[in-house]
Amino acid sequence: MITGKNYIGNQLSATANRTFKTFNPLLNIENDWNITEASNSEVNQAADLAAEAFKTYSKISGATKATFLREIANEIEALGDDLLEVYSSESGLPNGRAMGERGRTLGQLRAFANHVEEGNWVEASIDTAEPDREPLPKVDLRKMNIALGPVVVFGASNFPLAFSTAGGDTAAALAAGCPVIVKSHPMHAGTGEMVASAVIKAAEKTGMPNGVFSNLNSSGIEVGQTLVQHPKVKAVGFTGSIKGGRALYDLAAKRDEPIPVFAEMGSINPVVLLPKALHNRAEAIAKTYAGSITLGSGQFCTNPGLIIGIKSQGLTNFVNNLAEDIVKIEPSCMLHPNIAGAYQTNKKNALAQSGLQVLAGYEDSVEPNYARQVVTTVEGDTFLNNPTLHHEVFGPFSLVVQCENKAQLETIISKLEGQLTGTIISDDNEISEYPNVVNALQNRVGRIIFNGVPTGVEVCPSMQHGGPYPASTDSRFTAVGVDSIKRWVRPFSYQDWPNELLPDELKNENPLGISRLVNSVKTTANI
């Protein structure tokens, strides 16, 4: 069932002789299938095919792209339980999570299908000519969003479906009219191949040009680096670590023709606990956060890695309860030995910092690839003076910072790096006494949460998933929701162009019936 080959457009290909295996972290053994690394010539072929496909794919209608995207969803669904089994053997994640993530992936593909079928996303804007305008005549100008070109997508290991092969980045780029080359994540390359086969089947069934999609395997970073530097690649989508995202961003910037890299990276998602909330319900908040910190073994980009409060009896109660609750939770398996190893190293490094106190104590050891959750606490001054404590420890790890007063709380928030989310836990109107805290947090994050937890990312148009650097490389865009299509387009204007040669979106007759800005008025009317 899994061939281990690359998809170079519609063709399975394995010309190199270097192979690798994926790993089952629960069983602590390698999976059976061999995966073949993509060769340099396969990388070039995929890029050439994508550039060729772009010529036609970028011009096809929204309705046809919608048919393609819906067919991808259907084909992924048709893979049935086989896909879920491979997903679990390559990630250690349970069947329920696999089903949930598949549902999210299908939902994303179908949402993009609806989005491009409806068509308003091109943001058509028309300013008609005024030949008699004084002192100078005005030209006819018509603008809309058009596709950028071939896009390379790197998926993260912690979402083998929803942020991977046919995940959000791929769905958004295909919806925009960009061919996609996936650099498959080596830790779930079998899952990646199965999903790629579904995309290819859908492309063939719906008559898409060969090269609209390719899937390349690699266990190292060379294939990804070559792709990012390839002259025919015009944009990059990355979900993963700050180290990886930044390396690719720098590589793209050094090209003769620099290209955008939309990298969604790590975050510690600060949670601010206000005093009255802690006074009234420290115990309940601690219970909720013990669950959020350990959810999915802490392997979420929205994991609450930093909790900040002002010293009080309420904060002490919270810290004590969190310590008690967190040790009751069973340790869980991480995605693969590398992530489990990185967790141990980063945790050890954090725990070695002076002034850090560990709140949870364990005596027994854990199974291979399992992670023991840890909560720690530190004084506000110590946190402010030690940048190492500001870094993500990817896994079930959280740090509680105990501030001296409100002013220190504000200072700490304003000194944080950019984050995906920020959360405020408040009693009734308590938050209104903290306008500076709210402002400081808004300046550091992409999404602010009131009395909740940061884990859990709803896929819908109003979701912002991205924030100031290093949460993402461009905080103006989201990686989740239909607005993420905006990363893969550029605005383009036609001046005095004959009506019959204009794309349908800009023709006088408005044959698609889309909403357009005509002479500064939003309308679906003809011109």
The site for ligand NAP (CB under 6 A) is made up of 154, 156-159, 163, 183, 185-186, 218-221, 224-225, 239-241, 244, 247-248, 264-266, 301, 339, 392, 394, 420, 465, 479
Residues marked as catalytic: 264, 301
Q: How far is the CB of 342 from ligand NAP (least distance, A)?
A: 8
With beta carbons less than 8 A apart as the criterion, state whether 353 and 386 touch: yes
Strands (E), 204-258: 213-216, 235-239
With beta carbons less than 8 A apart as the criterion, state whether 178 and 235 touch: yes
Q: Alpha-carbon distance 293 to 275, whole Å?
A: 21
Q: Alpha-carbon distance 395 to 386, whole Å?
A: 20
Q: Which amino acid is at 369?
A: N
Could you write out the DSSP letters of every residue in 166-206?
Answer: TSHHHHHHHHHT--EEEE--GGGHHHHHHHHHHHHHHHHHT
The residues that bridge with 7 in the sheet, in sequence order, are 12, 215
CA dihedral for 341, 343, 347, 350, sign (positive or negative): positive
Closest CA to 396 of 355, 360, 425, 365: 360
Nearer to ligand NAP, 119 or 244 (CB): 244
Please identify which residue in the block is written with the tokens 């990804």: 224
Q: Alpha-carbon distance 31 to 126, whole Å?
A: 56
Residues sharing a CB contact under 8 Å with residue 117, sequence separation 6 or more, in sequence order: 62, 63, 65, 66
Q: Alpha-carbon distance 52 to 18, whole Å?
A: 28
Q: How far is the CB of 288 from ligand NAP (least distance, A)?
A: 21
Measured N-to-C along each axis, helices 80-91 and 62-78 cross at an angle, to the nearest 10 degrees, of 80
Q: Which amino acid is at 507?
A: K
Q: How far is the CB of 470 from ligand NAP (least distance, A)?
A: 10
Burial class (CB in 10 A: 0-12, 13-18, 19+), 361: exposed
Q: How far is the CB of 223 from ligand NAP (least distance, A)?
A: 8
First to last CA, the chain: 55
The residues that bridge with 335 in the sheet, in sequence order, are none
Closest CA to 471 of 156, 240, 166: 240
